[in-house]
Amino acid sequence: MTPPVRLELVGIGKRFGAVVANDSIDLRLRPGEIHAVLGENGAGKSTLMLLLYGVLQPDSGSIVWEGREVSVSDPGTARRLGIGMVFQHFSLLRTLSVRQNLQLAYPDLDEQRLAQVLGDFDLRIELDVRVGLLSPGEMQRVEILRCLLQDMKLLILDEPTSVLTPAEVEQLVAILRKLAQRGCSVLFITHKLDEARALCREATVLRGGRVAGRLELAGSSDADITRLMLGGEPPPAQLARAAAPPGATALQLRGICAQLPGQRRGRLENIDLSLASGEILGIAGVSGSGQEALAAVVAGEIRPSAGSLWLDGEDLGRSGVRQRRRRGIRVLPVDRLHHAAAAGLTLDENYLLSHYDDAACHSGPWLHWGRVAALATQLIQDAAVRAPSAAAQARQLSGGNLQKFLVGRELAGAPRVLVCYNPTWGVDPGAQANIHAALAAARNAGMAILLLSEDTEELYRLCDRLGALCDGRLSPQLPTAEVDRDLLGQWMTGAGGSSPQRSGACA
Ligand SMILES: Nc1ncnc2c1ncn2[C@@H]1O[C@H](COP(=O)(O)OP(=O)(O)OP(=O)(O)O)[C@@H](O)[C@H]1O
């Protein structure tokens, strides 16, 4: 007997103007199957999921749900069918509490059912906390909880692990396995092949909007999968090593204490750090350890309550964001859609946001739009950003393509100091290698780079020195060769008594 089919997509097509995002896509999913959807940035993965969830409508093809062709005209219809989705960029209202968010989706929220689901899936969630105060992992659990409160037959997760700590990834895996055991199907978009292998037996690989292949993960090597994703050989993984020993100190932080406003986490305690030109200093740490506050302090977005910040021996404590940018400090924040970019603005406008003071964008005293557009267009080409033109809105780009654009935009300013937080979040392996190569080349050209990353592989690959943040405190920063994974792990968890530089003295 052939196993039952829960979902069948037949010949699905979707265009956005001239862009063919999905082209004749076929996909089958059984009850209880966790299926990976892989593909490089812009391959069409999110679009396909949004079609399934009723956010978008297909131009062609059909969706067959439990043997019956259906029209998923909106997310409400999807939910009534038993389809839930956790988005790449969370869809919760940050000013409301967890409970209020749940009540928006379920006006007659049944407290008994809520308690049962929380217990059943071992979800630790504080219901009366404002969502804006939660860590990304906690927000994701709320999104999943919101799905679990319905009778769910298919859960779609779009890159669910990119913002999670390793412990949170384990919790997510446990939840998904439990769901699958109960017969719920899962579609799981990821760029991390090891995660796909750990969770899924089979994967569908998309390339350029089409199905490039469906494969059994156990019988396929990473190279096989990458080849299918790229349609060719993966780029060489070699990185340029540091061309010369680091130069003079560029950026120095002395005894910085700070707190991100309105956040439970996001505290910095007595941070001492010095970054030389021609080096990449990596700071590890699980999400919420103080990375956002550190980036905001260097950018000048928040004022520390104590301590000082120096650039090339000059105290910059009193200068604001724009002055610092003029002096050559650039910061790429972690939240690409709400902080690093303005989602509703075009790419050339987004380019201008961080290059407003560049002579190249002006003709005499006047802003020269033709030049801005030409610079943004050049960047799109150089960074291989898949976008129709510089006139496309940032929100129209796939997540990974927007990330490539933003990293390129900051590097294009050839800053003296670059701070980036998770620069390859949601970026496919090919583009990740390109971003790493660009950062290494910038370091070799003398840039001082502070790399805040939750991806320890990335840190070991790129950095000349390494340290870690834990609960707002910074470990020592040592040459990478002297920091083995055990030591880094201890620093990240604050274990072993090695974490704080100096403790306590923040007011
Ligand atoms: N609303 C939109 N308007 C115009 N183009 C869009 C829109 N949404 C997606 N696209 C385009 O469709 C293509 C597929 O995008 P999609 O987001 O589905 O890719 P993806 O595989 O999910 O990529 P990533 O891994 O980077 O998230 C891209 O070229 C993207 O720019």
Q: Ligand 1 pocket: which of 14, 25, 47, 210 to mutate (most atoms <8 Å of CB)?
A: 47
- Work out the pLDDT band at 498, boundaries 50, 70, 90: very low
Q: Ligand 1 pocket: which of 15, 27, 37, 46 to mutate (most atoms <8 Å of CB)?
A: 46
Q: How far is the CA of 399 from the centre of ligand 1 (A)?
A: 8
Question: Going by DSSP bridges, is the β-strand pair 314-315/329-332 parallel, antiparallel, or unpaired?
Answer: unpaired
Which spans in 276-362 are helix H?
291-299, 321-326, 347-355
Over residues 183-220, the pLDDT tens digits come to: 999 999 988 888 899 899 999 999 999 999 999 998 88
Q: CB of 427 closer than 6 A to ligand 1?
A: no
Over residues 258-291, the pLDDT tens digits come to: 998 876 677 899 999 999 999 999 999 877 789 9
Please state the rounded mean pLDDT for residues 318-327.
Answer: 90
CATH architecture of 7-230: 3-Layer(aba) Sandwich (3.40)
Q: CB of 343 closer than 6 A to ligand 1?
A: no
Query: Higher pLDDT residue, 430 or 195?
Result: 195
Q: CB of 472 closer than 6 A to ligand 1?
A: no
On the question of pLDDT at 504 being above 60, the answer is: no
For residues 448 and 370, the answer to whether their CB atoms sit within 8 Å is no
Q: How far is the CA of 39 from the centre of ligand 1 (A)?
A: 12
Instruction: Report the percentage of the chain scoring pLDDT > 70.
Output: 94
Closest atom, ligand 1, to C-alpha of 88? 27
Query: Higher pLDDT residue, 455 or 22?
Result: 22
Instruction: Report the percentage of the chain scoring pLDDT > 90.
Output: 51
Q: What gap in Å lies between CA 491 and CA 466, rounded to an integer?
A: 10
Please state the rounded mean pLDDT for residues 19-41.
Answer: 95
CATH architecture of 277-303+322-497: 3-Layer(aba) Sandwich (3.40)
Q: Ligand 1 pocket: which of 12, 14, 19 to mutate (most atoms <8 Å of CB)?
A: 19
pTM over 0.90: no
Which residue puts its alpha carbon closest to atom 25 of ligand 1?
A: 41
With a CB cutoff of 8 Å and minimum separation 6, the contacts of 287 are 135, 136, 137, 163, 164, 165, 454
Q: CB of 401 closer than 6 A to ligand 1?
A: yes
Q: CB of 432 closer than 6 A to ligand 1?
A: no
Q: How far is the CA of 47 from the centre of ligand 1 (A)?
A: 6
On the question of pLDDT at 223 being above 70, the answer is: yes
* Average pLDDT over all residues of the chain: 88
Q: CB of 39 closer than 6 A to ligand 1?
A: yes
Residue 500: the pLDDT is: 47
Q: What gap in Å lies between CA 459 and CA 276, rounded to an integer?
A: 17
Residue 499: the pLDDT is: 41
Over residues 369-390, the pLDDT tens digits come to: 888 888 989 999 988 888 888 8
Residues pairing with 203 in the sheet:
36, 215
Which residue puts its alpha carbon closest to atom 3 of ligand 1?
A: 396
Q: How far is the CA of 387 from the centre of ligand 1 (A)?
A: 9
For the chain, the first-to-last Cα distance in angstroms comes to 70
Burial 454-475 (b: 16+ CB within 10 A, else e): bbbebbbbbbbbbbbbbbbbbb
Q: How far is the CA of 58 from the centre of ligand 1 (A)?
A: 14
For residues 351 and 376, the answer to whether their CB atoms sit within 8 Å is yes
- Work out the pLDDT band at 3, boundaries 50, 70, 90: low
Q: How far is the CA of 21 from the centre of ligand 1 (A)?
A: 6
Question: Which SS3 state, helix, strand or coil, does residue 474 take?
Answer: strand
CATH 3.40.50.300 residue ranges of the chain are 7-230, 277-303+322-497
- Work out the pLDDT band at 79, boundaries 50, 70, 90: very high
